[in-house]
Structure formats: structure tokens, C-alpha cells
Amino acid sequence: MTAQTLPQPEAAPISWTNVGFFAVIHLGALFAFTCFSWSALLLTLFLHWALGGLGITLCFHRLLSHRSFSVPKPLEYFLALLGTLSMQGGPIHWVSNHRMHHAHSDTASDPHDSNKGFWWSHMGWIFQMPEEHKRYEHYSRFAKDLARDPVYRFLNKYMLALQFVFAGLLFLIGGWSFVVYGIFVRAVVVYHCTWLTNSACHKWGYRSHETSDHSTNLWWTAILTYGEGWHNNHHAMPRSARHGMAWWEVDMTYMVIWTLEKLGLAKNLVLPSRP
């Protein structure tokens, strides 16, 4: 991927739209105390894996951002739908931000530069995202492969609309408790697990490889993110489908990719040249 220099405003203003959106999501999660059920909790755990693990970690990250492996297009689109339902932005926007991160990791052009502190790299960057980074014509330049595909353009454009459809489906299945736990609680948990890779994994942990950024390997984020916490390994070998390198670095996402390969559904796996 060709690195491009990003324009850097002196200080991006706070996006109160983004602040309001994430405030509503977090406040909505508090209603979990009023409608608890074991089935709703199990739904949250399942969606954490399906939308966060398969949708974000496996698809948006390893498949679409880095093309660490390939799968048949129908399966790729289904996994991309799961990632879109995680409500972390459409696939073109998510992949673009991640590619910017790798091209300029821990520099001023990194969207969540960890040099600006834990809060910034965790979620502050979302509240002060430069306006040009929100404009499709700007960020799509970093994911031209996806922008050429009408399916990805659809998912990117209708990300929020699809979330309402999903909420309606959850309501029909399990009522308001499924909406609260399946949308709000799930979103908050998956958000922070994903963001910890940007923040905690550039602050704490150990480094197996000398890289030009502050990336680290952190075992507890690896548990929460199905293997993403082996972040220093990833920055050393960005295209590798496997992030856990040592025997103790358990990588559940790679286990899924390995299983798909054995089933004939995943091909062209990119693996590290050394264990």
C-alpha cells in the first residue's frame, strides 16, 4: 500500500455529533440494569464474537485491510456485513483509517497517534477527527480496492440504516432486552475492546520486534480481541494472517482462518517467514 501524506490541521475542533452519538450508545447500555436476562447476556457474548471477532478482527482487519488471506466473495461479503453491523464505521472508512495508521504509525499523520496520550489513542481521536478524514472522497483514496466494489460502497453508505434493521430483527426475536444488550451493551464492549488495541497495545506489554512505533504485545487485550493484542508482532509483519507467534501467544482468529483453510474456504494465507 502506497503511503500518502495526510494534511494535518493545527487543531481539529470537537465533533459534537460524534460526542453525542457515543454518549447515546453508552447511556443506552445503562438500561441493561433494567432488563437483564441470561439469554440477552448470551446474545451479547455471541455478538461480541460474531461482530467483533469475525466482523472486525478477521474481516475488516486481516482480510480487507491487509489481505492476509482470501475467501470466496459471498463469504467475504457476509463477513463484511458482520463488521458493518459492529457500528465502527463502514468497511471503506474503517479500512482507510487502519491503513493510514500503518502507513504513519505513532506519527502526527497517524489518526490515533499514541504519542498524544492514552485517552487520545483510545477514543479522543474520534471526537476530534479532521473533517477531511470524514469525507468519502478523501478517505476512500486509501481503500481504492474496496471503493471500486458496489457492495462495499453500499455497506459503507448504509451502515447506520443497517443497524436499525438489525435492531428491529433483535426486537422481534427477544424484545427490548435483546435490543439493549444486542445493540447498546454489545457496541460499548466491542468498541472498547477494539480501541484497546490502539491505546493499551501502544503503552503496556512487551516487544518481540524492533519497530519504528510503540506497538507492544499485551496478553489480556489478545484475549479480549481474539488475538489482536499481539500487536507488536502485527506491526512487524502486518500482512501475516497469524499474529500470535510464540506458543503461548494464543490467536483465536488465526485458528478460525486455519479452519477455513482446511475446509477449502480460505486460500493464499500470508504467514510469517519465521515462528
Closest CA to 16 of 164, 185, 184, 129: 129
- Cα 45 to Cα 6: distance, rounded to the nearest angstrom: 37
Whole-number pLDDT of residue 4: 46
Please list the helix, strand and coil fractions of the chain in percent, rounded to the nearest 5, in that order. Answer: 65, 0, 35
Whole-number pLDDT of residue 275: 46
The yes-or-no verdict on residue 50 having pLDDT over 50 is: yes
Whole-number pLDDT of residue 272: 85
The yes-or-no verdict on residue 10 having pLDDT over 70 is: no
Q: How confident is the model at residue 84 (pLDDT cuts 50, 70, 90)?
A: very high
Q: How confident is the model at residue 134 (pLDDT cuts 50, 70, 90)?
A: confident
Whole-number pLDDT of residue 131: 83
* Contact assessment for residue 120 and residue 113, using Cβ atoms and an 8 Å cutoff: yes
Q: How confident is the model at residue 274 (pLDDT cuts 50, 70, 90)?
A: low
Burial class (CB in 10 A: 0-12, 13-18, 19+), 167: middle
Is the whole model's pTM more than 0.85, yes or no?
Answer: yes
Burial class (CB in 10 A: 0-12, 13-18, 19+), 18: middle
- Cα 244 to Cα 250: distance, rounded to the nearest angstrom: 6
pLDDT in tens, 201-248: 999 999 999 999 999 999 999 999 999 999 999 999 999 999 999 999
pLDDT in tens, 172-198: 999 999 999 999 999 999 999 999 999
Whole-number pLDDT of residue 5: 45
Average pLDDT, the chain: 94
Cell numbers 426475536: residue: 173
φ, ψ of residue 2 to 5 degrees: the values are -75, 125
DSSP state at residue 267 = B
Burial 226-257 (b: 16+ CB within 10 A, else e): bbbbbbbbbbbbbebbbbbbeeebbbbbbebb
Whole-number pLDDT of residue 11: 58
